[in-house]
Amino acid sequence: MNVLTSGKNLVFCILYCIVLVTHSVSAQVYEAENATLANGAVKIASAICSGGYYVSQKDGALHFTFKTDTEAYYNIYIQAASPNGAKTNIFSIDGFSTQFTLSQNAAFVSQKIVSAQKIKAGVHSMSITKSWGWIDIDYIKLEMTSATERFRLEKVPVTPTPTDHTMRLYQFLYDNYGRKIISGAMTLNSMDEINWLKSNTGKEPALIGLDFMHCGRGYTWYNNELPVNDAKKYYDRNGIPAFCWHWRDPSRKTEAFYTKDTSFDVSKINDTTSVEYKAMLKDIDYISGLLKKLQNYDVPVLWRPLHEASGGWFWWGAKGPEACKKLYRLMYDRMVNYHGLRNLIWVWTSQLDDKTWYPGDDVVDIIGRDLYKDGDHSSQIIEFNRLNNDYEGRKMITLSETGSFPDVDNLIADEAAWSYYMPWYGDFVRNSKYNSLALWKKMFAHDYVYTLDKMPDLKSYTTPVTGTGSLNSGPNQQLIVYPTFFTDEFSLISGSELGDVMVFDISGKIVFKSYTKSMQTIIKMTEFEPGIYFVKAQNLEAVKIYKQ
């Protein structure tokens, strides 16, 4: 949305009396004192600040306009201080908005607020507006960066020795990240939204959202096997089952999961002798049994426990990050190492600015964002870039829940690489206030969007030879490895002569070495022990591979 032409923002432009900031684009620094100030924001002289001034935002706002001559990717930084405590405010560029939080600091420090933002040639607008207000701003800086540096994804899941089908699903997600998006829909009752979409669009989403909410509670009206059966049914059709768990009060004193409705104390996770600890462990063991049934069926699962924890509205987030992280890591250890679950791809839900809640790279495969912006079908590119920056491009990022989902044209134009999108059940699927039937049909018809009928056979999936290769390297300088999960052999392709090819074990020892003048070769590793290896050719980045 262009704030200079949008009717909604015309009033904004008049109120803020937009002026063109005179700094050249090559300088890429936009002084706060040269912005249009409003609602009490004031310019204050300071010998220590760039340009000799800073702006005390108070309850006000700053608005910049600037011009770029060429399209490029930029990291955006703010040089600011927050002397009155931690403060959250809103940064916007060309109609895209995101929140950022400054920790308490009387000194002016630089903080990245947007990562790898694509900015086209032309006139643009930036704003800092109040959420809490009361920060001091020296300048905004735009720093050009390369799109090829956006992603440094892990090539194998965090679960040790994942099942064959789990690794193939992970490989499918990896191969399509940033190239396509996977459509999804959450269900409340068995296949309800899936069937509605089939009846009204002629197609079904590639991913089905399921919940263990009613399982293990002794409800006579509910079949605990229902979500397991639905997951198996959909996977057998090459669909992807994604599970969350609205975990009801483990003490059984209530049937609640919201903090306001239960006094269950998650901090008792620190006391292994407590009744609460034993109750949590008992529930984890029960759900592990259901997931084990799916493993016995050879069904992999996107597993998203303890979602939206940092919001605090669920009991697992009511006592702060440390108790929640300990519960998550206990669950991972119990499920993976005690129950032997090897069919899980672990998804952590971030609510932005909540890195202190993150349980760790070693127990998370995918970062989810639950985002509800009614009627907003923009790409949410700033949200995506913020998360990608927070997790340093190491993890795939997804819209694990949405109200209104992004229009495919916006996803492609902004290069927002969300792995999948999953609107919640009910009105979020069916009501045009959130997502129109025309938009559903548009999404399902587009080549960029996976629907169930477009899915490959996930049980035998390998990286296509014609694929574009690793996301970690530039054009003609990439090392394509397929499959990265293999039994006896794998293939290498490069845009130039491979030269010296080496395979290292996990300790760094060279276990295989050869030389070829070809741009393509096959490496046989039939006699090698199963495990993680790294393959490298020329000066290209090493690729992690897994021998089953």
- Distance linking the first and last C-alpha atoms of the chain: 49
Q: How far apart are CA 173 and CA 396, in angstroms?
A: 8
Examine the pLDDT at 3 and tell me if it is beyond 80: no
Angle, helices 226-235/275-296, rounded to nearest 10 degrees: 40
φ/ψ bin of 380: left (φ > 0), alpha (ψ from -120 to 50), beta (otherwise): left
**207 CA to centre of own chain:** 16
Catalytic residue at 154? no
Examine the pLDDT at 163 and tell me if it is beyond 70: yes
Alpha helices, DSSP H, located in 362-445: 381-390, 408-414, 427-430, 437-445
Q: Got the DSSP string for 69-93?
A: SS-EEEEEEEEEEETTS-EEEEEEE
Closest Cα partner for 158 from 357, 340, 351, 332? 332
Q: In this structure, which amino acid lies at residue 266?
A: V
What is the maximum alpha-carbon separation in the chain? 73
**Burial profile 107-124: b = 16 or more Cβ within 10 angstroms, e = fewer:** ebeeebbbbbbbbeeeeb
Alpha-carbon dihedral 524, 529, 532, 538, rounded to 10 degrees: -40
Q: How far apart are CA 329 and CA 301, in angstroms?
A: 18
Q: How far apart are CA 24 and CA 442, in angstroms?
A: 41
114-125 pLDDT, tens per residue? 888 888 889 999
The residue annotated as part of the active site, out of 33, 204, 308, 383, is: 308
Examine the pLDDT at 105 and tell me if it is beyond 80: yes
Q: How far apart are CA 499 and CA 306, in angstroms?
A: 47
Kindly state the DSSP code that residue 282 receives in the 8-state scheme. H
Residue 510's pLDDT is what?
A: 84
The residue annotated as part of the active site, out of 71, 401, 527, 541, is: 401
Percent above pLDDT 70 for the chain: 91
- Of 44 and 116, the structure prediction assigns the larger pLDDT to 44
Q: Write out the two tokens for 334.
A: 């119990």
**Are 407 and 377 within 8 A, CB to CB?**
yes
Residue count of the chain:
548
Neighbours of 454 (CB within 10 A): 15
Q: How far apart are CA 73 and CA 76, in angstroms?
A: 10
The 3-state DSSP class for residue 215 equals coil
Residue-averaged pLDDT of the chain: 89
Examine the pLDDT at 471 and tell me if it is beyond 70: no
Contacts of 496 (CB under 8 A, 6+ apart): 476, 477, 519, 538
Residue 474 φ then ψ, to 5°: -85, 175
Long-range pairs for 190-199 at CB < 8 Å and ≥24 separation?
190/226, 190/230, 191/230, 192/425, 193/425, 193/426, 193/429, 193/430, 194/234, 196/429, 196/430, 197/429, 197/440
Q: Write out the two tokens for 11.
A: 């009033």
Closest Cα partner for 328 from 310, 342, 343? 310
Residue 11's pLDDT is what?
A: 33
Residue 423's pLDDT is what?
A: 98
**Are 150 and 444 within 8 A, CB to CB?**
no
148-162 pLDDT, tens per residue? 667 888 888 999 889
pTM of the model: 0.74
Examine the pLDDT at 113 and tell me if it is beyond 90: no
Examine the pLDDT at 343 and tell me if it is beyond 70: yes
- Of 135 and 72, the structure prediction assigns the larger pLDDT to 135
**Are 194 and 187 within 8 A, CB to CB?**
yes
388-401 pLDDT, tens per residue? 988 989 999 999 99
Rounded to the nearest 5 degrees, what angle is found at the Cα of 285, between the Cα atoms of 283 and 287?
70
Closest Cα partner for 77 from 36, 124, 123, 109? 109
Q: Is residue 478 very low, low, confident or very high in pLDDT (cuts 50, 70, 90)?
A: low
**Burial profile 174-184: b = 16 or more Cβ within 10 angstroms, e = fewer:** bbbbbebbbbb
- Taken in order of first residue, the domains within the chain and their CATH numbers are 7-145 (2.60.120.260), 164-460 (3.20.20.80), 479-547 (2.60.40.10)
- Helix %, strand %, coil % of the chain (to 5): 25, 30, 40
Catalytic residue at 401? yes
